[in-house]
Chain A
Amino acid sequence: MAHIKKRWDLLCWLLVAPALGTRIFCTLYPILRTVYDSLFQINKIRRINRFNGIGNYIQMLQDTNLLDTIQFTAIFTIASIALHTLLGVGLALLLNAQFRGRKVLRSVVLIPWATPLVVAGIAATWAFNDMYGFVNDLIRRVLPSFSCDWLVGLATARWAVILVDVWKDTPFYAIMILAGLQSIPADLYEAALADGSGPVSSFFRITLPNIAPLMCTMTVFFSLWRLTQFDLVYAMTQGGPGTSTSLLSYRTYIEAFKNLNFGYASAISVVLCLFMVVVAAAGFRAKKHLDFET
């Protein structure tokens, strides 16, 4: 009997092996190769390929443009996540309410999420144009003398990028939270109502604690997606003005595929990966704590 089970296990492993091998090759090999390449100075244009040790990492510390990029990547991630959380939970609460047309609204709100980000980015370039854009056109219906070159100013360009990102993915965040809201037993709210609890109190004492673990998980994944955001900057600002809206992924892409500086690009990728590991570890630790408490 034992040897039949062993054979069966072996057969299972054999059947899974091709898929597993492909997955390992497509994931593990690129990671290891990138770490390896980050220790070399590799430039295809100048045909250089020599061991550099931690030279690329030292260069990163001296590269002021890259430090600006790291700064905005952090700002972008934190601001975007904060807005996603606030607006996403708000939208989820709205979609959870009972009103006519709720089902249609739940479908309609997903349209931004279904729009390819490159398309959204190119459209946003025109949307935020002072002369031709609908953003300023809408504002001018309230403030007729309003004028703002969104993509020219450092702060306004950053906000424009963050707002487009929030517009794009908040519906998806909201739908995930909505699923969590619908899993909260209704009798909890009934009991709270019987005890004289109002809607605000119910939200903070019932709703929020029940969806907190889900929010934590969503925050981890959304943070990782923000850290690796590329399409939006590529299509909308190319990292400008200056380097004020440059993100780490975009900078990696430029170094690798425009400057053919693969060693330096690999080093930036490794650093980005380390940031992601830290964020993921912190997030899952927090979730563990929340799971324990709930």
Chain B
Amino acid sequence: MRKICALLLALTLVFGVVSASAKVVIYTSEAGGDDFAAFAKAASEATGVEIEGLTAPTNYSDFVPKITAMLSSNSDAVDIVWIDELLGVSFASAGYLEPLDGVIDDATKAQFSPDVLNNICSKDGKLYMIPATATPMFLFVNKKLFKDAGIAYPTTQQEFFAAAKALTKGDVYGYGAAWSLGGQLFNDVIRWMDAYDGDYMDWTQEGSRQALQAMHDMIYVDKITPVAALGDIYDAVNQKFIDGKYAMIYQWPYVFGVIGADKFDENYEVIPVPTFKTNKTIVSGWQYAINASSANKDEAKKVIKWLASAEGQKLHITLRDSSAARTDVLNSPDVIKQYPMLGATGTYAAAGSLMPRPMNDKINAIMDATEATLQNYLTDKITLDECVEKGMADMDAIMAGK
């Protein structure tokens, strides 16, 4: 009996060790989707490594503290993490990510944007992340509202505000937004500052001030955006857009999946960014990186290499109509035919509209401190001058390490 138990124990240990060493856990919100199983299977077949997905929260406000706590506590529960540039820059600085030098070759690197690889994915000359998506904030319009009003899509600042005013009637607003805390307001302010050729890191600039003033006036002067925007998260904006309450919204491409491909073309469209001082909109990228505390780094590097390949990036698009970051994949006619949003990304890129968000290792603290000040201004609690003064004071203190 004792020998049988010892044999069983030994077999369990051997099996466990073999299993543990050949399995990689990917922490991603995509793991909750129906397509992840097929994606993981393809990745396993290509790399010889068993892949398991651990579902991360889809709500960004929930995701940030969860993954931060996980990585900062040196947890080895996950091997590969799916993070955006805000988190990636911070985590690389904090030493939570494993360097990826030697994992991908120069030919593969050449398929990614040098700006993204050098400024977002690398720190102190070392590569820490592999770009997986390039997702701009598109300008979505409700085709029916424009058609019924007989208004052409705007191409300039004047046309934008004229159209928004003409389309604002009753409980329908010309422009909808999510200006609540937790990243939504942060993204939109950067976007508007880019449009006015401002700089989020310098609110004293004329362009930055004009952008803030414009956002304030949209609510209180032009009345093309409801006050409710200050309390709405992305889910609420999406619902209002679907319900025909907003004629135009700047939103991430995932709303295409929310609406559904079959319904999208009927009522909605992505139009080029109207030219204000610039025709810029923000582009966000999500990356894959290896947890520095991972117990399966060699296996994880095999998976990362595959994720950076054309095959990996094409399969990655199947996850909730996601995106890709390799230029050969983004420009592939077959891919664009199947995923129209990628075509829109290409169009925006060709028009020079894509602008990455400002990134540094203190960006999360800056976002936290400045969003509150921005909301105080947009709820008319403080003036523009007070907003600029407080915002800059907070940013200067954070950058100085206080």
A: residues with CB less than 8 A from B are 43-48, 59, 64-65, 125-126, 129-132, 149-154, 157, 237-243, 246, 253-254, 257-261
Contact = CB atoms under 8 A, between A and B. Distances in A.
Interface string B62-78: 00110011001000000
B375 A257 contact: no
Given A239-B372, A260-B68, A46 B231 contact: no
B318 interface: no
Given A45-B361, A241-B375, 7 more contacts: A131-B228, A151-B231, A153-B379, A238-B61, A240-B231, A240-B375, A242-B373
B182 A131 contact: no
Contacts of B240: 131
Given A44-B72, A65-B369, A239-B181, A152 B231 contact: yes
B376 A258 contact: no
Contact of A129 (B61, B228, B364): B228
Nearest to A48: B401
A47 B94 contact: yes
A154 B379 CA distance: 8
A259 B365 contact: yes
B65 A152 contact: no
Given A47-B94, A48-B401, A132 B236 contact: yes
B171 interface: yes
A186 B364 CA distance: 62
A242 B372 contact: yes
B109 to A, nearest CB: 27
A237 B371 CA distance: 13
B236 A129 contact: yes
18 contacts: A44-B72, A44-B94, A45-B93, A45-B361, A45-B365, A46-B94, A47-B95, A129-B231, A131-B240, A149-B226, A152-B228, A238-B181, A241-B230, A241-B231, A241-B379, A257-B65, A257-B68, A261-B365
B239 interface: yes
B56 to A, nearest CB: 15
Contact of B372 (A48, A131, A243): A243
Given A59-B402, A238-B61, A152 B171 contact: no
B90 A45 contact: yes
B227 A46 contact: no
Contacts of A125: 233
A24 B259 CA distance: 54
Contacts of A243: 372, 376
9 nearest A-B residue pairs (beta carbon): A151-B231, A242-B376, A240-B181, A257-B65, A152-B231, A238-B181, A242-B375, A259-B365, A152-B230
B372 A240 contact: yes
Contact of A45 (B69, B232, B362, B390): B362
Interface of B: 61, 64-65, 68-69, 72, 90, 93-95, 171, 180-182, 226-228, 230-233, 236, 239-240, 245, 361-362, 364-365, 368-369, 371-373, 375-376, 379, 381, 390, 401-402
Contacts of A46: 93-94, 361-362, 401
Contacts of A151: 180, 231
Question: Which applies to chain B's interface (DSSP): helix, strand, loop or mixed?
Answer: helix
B183 to A, nearest CB: 10
Given A47-B94, A47-B95, A149-B228, A259 B373 contact: no
Contacts of B182: 238
Contacts of B64: 258
B265 to A, nearest CB: 26
A130 B375 contact: no
A257 B72 CA distance: 9
A242 B369 CA distance: 9
A242 B179 CA distance: 11
A288 to B, nearest CB: 41
Contacts of B369: 65
A140 to B, nearest CB: 13
Contacts of A242: 372-373, 375-376, 379, 381
Nearest to A68: B372
B199 to A, nearest CB: 22
A129 B95 CA distance: 41
Contacts of A129: 228, 231-232, 236
A210 to B, nearest CB: 45
A237 B94 CA distance: 29
Contact of B94 (A157, A253, A260): A260
Contacts of A253: 65
Contacts of B368: 254, 258-259
Contacts of B230: 149, 152, 240-241
A252 B63 CA distance: 17
A72 B375 CA distance: 17
A182 B230 CA distance: 48
Contact of A257 (B69, B226, B231, B239): B69
Nearest to B230: A152
A184 to B, nearest CB: 46
B227 A149 contact: yes
A47 B228 CA distance: 40
A150 to B, nearest CB: 8
Contacts of B72: 44, 257, 260
Contacts of B228: 129-131, 149, 152
Contact of B171 (A59, A131, A237): A131
A82 to B, nearest CB: 26
B297 to A, nearest CB: 21
B233 to A, nearest CB: 7
A265 to B, nearest CB: 12
Contacts of A239: 181, 372
A153 B180 CA distance: 12
Nearest to B243: A131
A253 B61 CA distance: 12
A258 B65 contact: yes
A47 B231 CA distance: 35
